[in-house]
Amino acid sequence: MESAGDLRSAGNEEFRRGQYGAAAELYSRALAVLEDAGEAAAEERSVLLANRAACQLRDGACRGCVADCCSALSLTPFAIKPLLRRAAAYEALESFALAYVDYKTALQVDCSIQAAHDGVNRMTKALLEKHGVNWREKLPPIPTVPIDAQRRWSVPSAGSPTGGAPPGNTPRGDPAQTAAGIERAQTLKEEGNKLVKKGNHKKAIEKYSESLKLNQECATYTNRALCYLTLKQHKEAVQDCTEALRLDPKNVKAFYRRAQALKELKDYKSSIADINSLLKIEPKNTAALRLLQELNRA
């Protein structure tokens, strides 16, 4: 009989390869193995559920992602990975109040998580636009995180530029979540920006990649995507723009650059869909309107 550990490892490998459906199936099989283990395997089951949620988030199955994250959190309350993945799924579903609550809860666990800070800012803006100045009155209660859960966890690697598998909750010590790590990431991004201005896109990609290992930031992904576009590495550009949109679902640059890359890959239908999404955000974006005309002639 296959062990849960072996199935999880195989799932992680599929995840690294970008085979999210296959990875989810392996995580499901591992969960089935542990079905009768009860409390003894609660943490391992939580990790598997969070991993499967990451697969579903990547594949756009946001409601399935929410369900798995809820199950994971019932087993290990206030775990960072399912909190952030559920928040991202709620955001994609435009359930902005629920996403806000999850991002704020994550910040109670670890106030240094940049992805949660960014999420709170996006949700605040979205809720203000939707409900006006009294938007806070529309919020569900934000749970109080107990002191024993207020510790550092690693940020999810399911969206890491290296394609790493979604590991379990990892305790304090991950350099990606130290202030120094975030500061170093910013410095590397700025070095990449300078290299772009000099036309050295290959070296800029290296800098952006180093930065993303320390801190996943939307602008770094879109900057690296621009380099990939310049170097005609269109599949890589699509992947980076997709990561940027996972962090910021209304990012205009990510929609535009992904549309450009998809056009070069002759996926005109998807390219037009991205431009239409962009134009809902910025109806008068001249570059997008021009690209849409080109696509309609293609």
pTM above 0.95, yes or no: no
What type of residue is 280? K
pLDDT in tens, the chain (298 residues): 678 889 999 999 998 888 889 999 999 999 999 987 666 688 999 999 999 999 999 888 899 999 999 999 999 999 999 999 999 999 999 999 999 999 999 988 888 888 888 888 899 988 988 888 888 888 999 998 887 776 544 434 333 333 344 544 333 333 334 456 777 888 899 999 999 999 999 999 999 999 998 888 899 999 999 999 999 999 999 999 999 998 888 899 999 999 999 999 999 999 999 999 999 999 999 999 999 999 988 7
Query: Can you read off the two tokens belonging to residue 53?
Result: 């949620």
At 159 the pLDDT is 38
At 40 the pLDDT is 67
What type of residue is 19? Q
Only one residue has tokens 């529309």, namely 138
Alpha-carbon distance 278 to 183, whole Å? 31
256 Cβ neighbours under 8 A, 6+ residues apart: 274, 275, 278, 285, 287, 288, 291
**Contact criterion met (CB below 8 Å) for 133 and 155:** no
At 297 the pLDDT is 86
Which domains does the chain possess? 4-174 (1.25.40.10), 178-297 (1.25.40.10)
**Contact criterion met (CB below 8 Å) for 73 and 101:** no
